[in-house]
Chain A
Amino acid sequence: GENVEQHPSTLSVQEGDSAVIKCTYSDSASNYFPWYKQELGKRPQLIIDIRSNVGEKKDQRIAVTLNKTAKHFSLHITETQPEDSAVYFCAASLSGGYNKLIFGAGTRLAVHP
């Protein structure tokens, strides 16, 4: 079946460093790729998304890149801060289903002061 693979599962960085999380999807018809941040015990919150007609999108310290040919997309966080510590999930839309998303397993990011 369709799936999204996310790597790494855990990531530890020093404050101020950059963090990169990568996802690979299997459905070549996927056309929407959101990223969510989830703090412990709380709801996932959308932090950035990208559509298949765009190769890169940036919002302050966060950027997402998409390579449709290779079927992978990445989240880049620059100048990391302790409050960036959370679990990050990528997702990809599924073709043939109304706005259905399939999620990656998540990356636990720890930013150390």
Chain B
Amino acid sequence: DGGITQSPKYLFRKEGQNVTLSCEQNLNHDAMYWYRQDPGQGLRLIYYSQIVNDFQKGDIAEGYSVSREKKESFPLTVTSAQKNPTAFYLCASSPPGLRGNQPQHFGDGTRLSIL
């Protein structure tokens, strides 16, 4: 979906370093999400945000942080506390609507590796 832009496409992290993954959408969607995908596995929810200045932990939030200062942007920081950060990170957004009834649209992802 061309309306969700993730950057960078590839990212390398050194030991003890925090890195931030960018996610921008121009779809005017209220909700945004971050998922982690490990090889051969499904998507696991890290954080999600329903509206600006609000976000909730997902299933695997430890070692990650987010902010939602603008509707269009939902950056994810992978902190040094995340000991196994190597994965494919996907950002998604969804329009407002009935609870649990709206499709999520994904960005192209960021592949994070440890140096």
Interface residues of B in 12-64 (CB under 8 A from A): 31, 40-45, 48, 50, 58
Asked if A69 is at the interface of the complex by the 8 Å CB criterion, the answer is no
Name B104's closest neighbour in chain A (CB-CB).
A101
Interface residues on B, range: 20 to 34
Asked if A58 is at the interface of the complex by the 8 Å CB criterion, the answer is no
Mostly helix, strand, loop or mixed at chain B's interface? Answer: loop
Nearest-CB distance from B53 to chain A (Å)? Answer: 15
How many chain A residues touch B (CB < 8 A): the figure is: 28
Interface residues of A in 61-111 (CB under 8 A from B): 89, 93-95, 97-106
If the complex has contacts A89-B42, A105-B42, A106-B42, are A95 and B107 also in contact, measured as CB distance less than 8 A? no
Say whether A34 contacts B103, CB under 8 Å. yes
CA distance A32 to B103 in the complex (A): 9
Asked if B68 is at the interface of the complex by the 8 Å CB criterion, the answer is no
Point out residues on B near A: beta carbons under 8 Å. 1, 31, 40-45, 48, 50, 58, 90, 94, 97, 99-109
Say whether B109 contacts A43, CB under 8 Å. yes
CA distance A104 to B102 in the complex (A): 18
Chain A residues lying within 8 Å of B103, measured Cβ to Cβ, are 34, 46, 49
Say whether B42 contacts A103, CB under 8 Å. yes
Say whether A42 contacts B108, CB under 8 Å. yes
